[in-house]
Amino acid sequence: MSDCWYIPEKVEDPRAENRLTPNVPGSYEKLAEVNVFYKRYDPNEISDDVEAFITPFLKHINYQHFDVVNLNPSVLGEEKFDSLASQHFEEHLHEDDEVRLVIGGTGYFDIRSKEDKWIRVLVGPGDAVVVPAGIYHRFTTTPEKNIRTVRLFKTNPRWLAVPRGPKAEETEARKQFLKNISSPRETVCGTANAYDNNVFTFRFPLEMDNELNKVMAHYATTHKGDQPLVAIVFVMGSVDPLTGKSWCPPCAEAKPVVNQAVDRLRHKYGAGNTLYIELPVERPAYLGNPSFFYRKHPFLQIQSVPTVIVSHLKRSTAPTSPWYELLEEKLRTLEPEVNAIASS
């Protein structure tokens, strides 16, 4: 995937880039949220001997068949190409994973994000994509009208598309897909975004305030007892789900330190009184962007990542206030250290 970006709901020319103004980039993480798998292979490795490359690959993923399709009017004829192109561009789902390896030309997968927005994914030679069963998506070539793709099949080769609508919603694949993406994400500290575990991960800066207003209002109205309620905010470079590594090496080093400190605070104040809020920052949105939301945010005002902020809930502020007005900052550090965090 050389690039991906959000596109509007309606487009005049499907093969144009159709970026929003200003451009809103997509990301691996947004795609991973809806269980889309992506991997790039060296196109030279695939070379002309597709079978030699694909056979062990099929074995590895326990698939049985593959075929190679050329979407190109000079191969298919204009009429067949146009008919297939409009079929592929109709929003649909499949009851099996759609597994594709691009070996020539370029195309766009349009994939529905968790928020039901279109993310356009540019694919070219070497790109392998798994569009999971049950997700709404569509496909088009770029203006070059040429793509050569290996299609991989678990059992028999088939391409059955169910157009978006009540029938698609009733499929087992759709139900299973929705179940998979709505299940809470496991983090090193427990299940994310579940009040009971007091661990929160907000991947989208623009949604973070709304969500944290709800979270903090909940705790401000329910928190009682003698111990303070502690909130640890960890702003860090996001993790590439393919490699499991953060793009920011100091963040990767800081994470176990912060987790250890959170554990110490849980012992000290009680798990129910310790909130861990992780705010992953995506590299393209952050690097070289002085207006990045977390830099300008009235509370976060980050200078760099990683940033750790430890705060205590104020008892006197109205729960309807913005979340950060309910907090009193105790410690802010760019170089997290277990003892310093645990004693704050």
92 annotated binding-site participant: yes
Least CB distance to Fe ion at residue 308 (A): 43
Q: Of 97 and 98, which has the nearer Cβ to Fe ion?
A: 98
Angstrom distance (rounded) from CA 282 to CA 14:
28
| Three-state SS at 284 | helix
Angstrom distance (rounded) from CA 149 to CA 67:
8
Q: Of 37 and 292, which has the nearer Cβ to Fe ion?
A: 37
Least CB distance to Fe ion at residue 92 (A): 6
- 227 by Cβ neighbours in 10 Å (0-12 / 13-18 / 19+) ranks as middle
CA 193 to chain centre: 15
Tokens, residue 215: 């979270």
Q: Of 99 and 261, which has the nearer Cβ to Fe ion?
A: 99
Q: Of 98 and 282, which has the nearer Cβ to Fe ion?
A: 98
- Site residues for Fe ion per CB under 5 A: 98
Of residues 264, 194, 234, 197, the one with CA closest to residue 333: 234
β-pair partners for 191: 186
Least CB distance to Fe ion at residue 109 (A): 8
- φ and ψ at residue 4, rounded to 5 degrees: -150, 150
Least CB distance to Fe ion at residue 148 (A): 17
Q: Of 14 and 306, which has the nearer Cβ to Fe ion?
A: 14
The contacts of residue 166 (CB under 8 Å, 6+ apart) are none
Given CA atoms 42, 47, 50, 56 in this order, what sign does their dihedral have? negative
Least CB distance to Fe ion at residue 10 (A): 20
Least CB distance to Fe ion at residue 155 (A): 17
88 annotated binding-site participant: no
Tokens, residue 275: 């909130």
223 annotated binding-site participant: no
Of residues 137, 211, 142, the one with CA closest to residue 174: 137
| Three-state SS at 318 | coil
Q: Of 88 and 266, which has the nearer Cβ to Fe ion?
A: 88
Angstrom distance (rounded) from CA 100 to CA 22:
30
Nearest residue to Fe ion, scored by beta-carbon proximity: 98
Q: Of 148 and 255, which has the nearer Cβ to Fe ion?
A: 148
Angstrom distance (rounded) from CA 53 to CA 49:
7
Least CB distance to Fe ion at residue 231 (A): 43
Of residues 254, 120, 277, 105, the one with CA closest to residue 189: 277
169 annotated binding-site participant: no
Q: Which residues are annotated as a binding site for Fe(2+)?
A: 92, 94, 98, 137
Q: Which residues are annotated as a binding site?
A: 92, 94, 98, 137
Q: Which residues are annotated as a binding site for Ni(2+)?
A: 92, 94, 98, 137
